[in-house]
Structure formats: structure tokens, C-alpha cells
Amino acid sequence: MTYSSQPALNTYQKSEGPVGIGGWLILPILHLCGAIILTLHNLYGIVSEWTGIKAIIEGGNDKLVALRLPLAISSILGIAVLILACICLHRLFARSPTVPRLMTFFYMGMVVATLGDVAADNMMSSIVGSSTDPDNFLDVLRVVIAAAIWIPYFHRSRRVANTFRAREAAVDRKIGEVF
């Protein structure tokens, strides 16, 4: 209990370091925007080649039936990346405390989606009898490096902690004072 002559105990301490969406945090935001644009461009291929996709879905011969699985893998993973990137962008700008975990899930999902696309490409190439995309290795390497950089950033950065965990940090301090 405090009296009017005593100053109130300040349970909220101003966080040290940078706060807000800026600095290096701009790069993951640009990556999310790029992922959305690239995925929409890739999914547009389904719409623009609808007669071929329709033939695969109907399955006129054994090759077309065999192409269903790689098409489904690629389409489902593309839609999942699109939805997850949109959710991440929304949570980033809403400054949700779930951002570090959500971005970790996004980067791990990007690794899985890229590996799934490489597997789908290999399946399609073996069915059709063509060569695989030569950029597959670089695509996998690119997302693994991005995950290796940005996952620790979202868990160790002072800017991320000050921007997305400020409310939880204040609550943690209050709980710590009680005990």
C-alpha cells in the first residue's frame, strides 16, 4: 500500500534498444511480400494452363493419372505458403507477440515447401521423361540459408523483443515482483 506522499512503484520499465518495425526487420517483411507475389505468379500457372490441369485431373491415361500427385503436392504447398505469408504479414503489422514463433514456423514451412516442390519436380520429370529444373539445388540452399539467418534473428534480436514482446515483458516483470 502506498500513500500519496510516497511515489508509486513503477512496474513498467522502458525497454532499451530499438523498437518498431524498421532496421533489419524490413528484410523479412520484403521476403514475405516476395513470397506472396512469387507464389501467386506460380499459382497463376494453374489458371493459365487449365486445359492441361483439367486433363491431369480427369486422368485420360496412366501418365496423366501419375501426374496428379505431384500437381497436388505443388498446389497444396503453394496455397499453404501463400496463406502463411499473409498471416505473418498481418501479425507483423499488428505487432502480435506470436510473431517470433510464427516466423519460425514460416521459415521451416518454406524449407518443407521447397523440398516438396523439388520432390514434385523430380516426380514429374521421371513420369514425363524430361530433365529436372537445374535451379532446384539453389532454391533449397536459398531457403535453408534464409531460415538459418532469420529464425535466430526473430528469437535473439532486441528490436524483435522490444517490438513484439513488450506487453509480455511488462507482465513478466509484474509477476516477478509478486513472487
With cut-offs at 50, 70 and 90, classify the pLDDT of residue 20: confident
**In 3D, which of 63, 75, 154 has the Cα closest to residue 107?**
154
Burial class of residue 174 in the structure, from the number of CB atoms within 10 Å of its CB (0-12 exposed, 13-18 middle, 19+ buried): exposed
With cut-offs at 50, 70 and 90, classify the pLDDT of residue 119: very high
- Contact present, 73 and 116 (Cβ < 8 Å): yes
- The mean pLDDT value of the chain amounts to 84
In this predicted model, what pLDDT tens digit does every residue of 44-85 receive, in sequence order?
A: 988 888 888 888 888 778 888 888 899 899 999 999 999 999
In this predicted model, what pLDDT tens digit does every residue of 128-137 receive, in sequence order?
A: 888 888 889 9
> What gap in Å lies between CA 110 and CA 143, rounded to an integer?
7
Residue matched to cell numbers 506470436? 98
- Please state the domain extents for the chain: 26-166
**In 3D, which of 121, 41, 22, 54 has the Cα closest to residue 81?**
41
With cut-offs at 50, 70 and 90, classify the pLDDT of residue 11: very low
**Is it the case that residue 116 has pLDDT exceeding 90?**
yes
What pTM does this model have? 0.78
DSSP character at residue 23: G
Which pairs from 59-66 meet CB under 8 Å and 24+ separation?
63/127, 63/128, 66/123, 66/127
> What gap in Å lies between CA 46 and CA 27, rounded to an integer?
29
The single-letter code of the amino acid at 15 is S
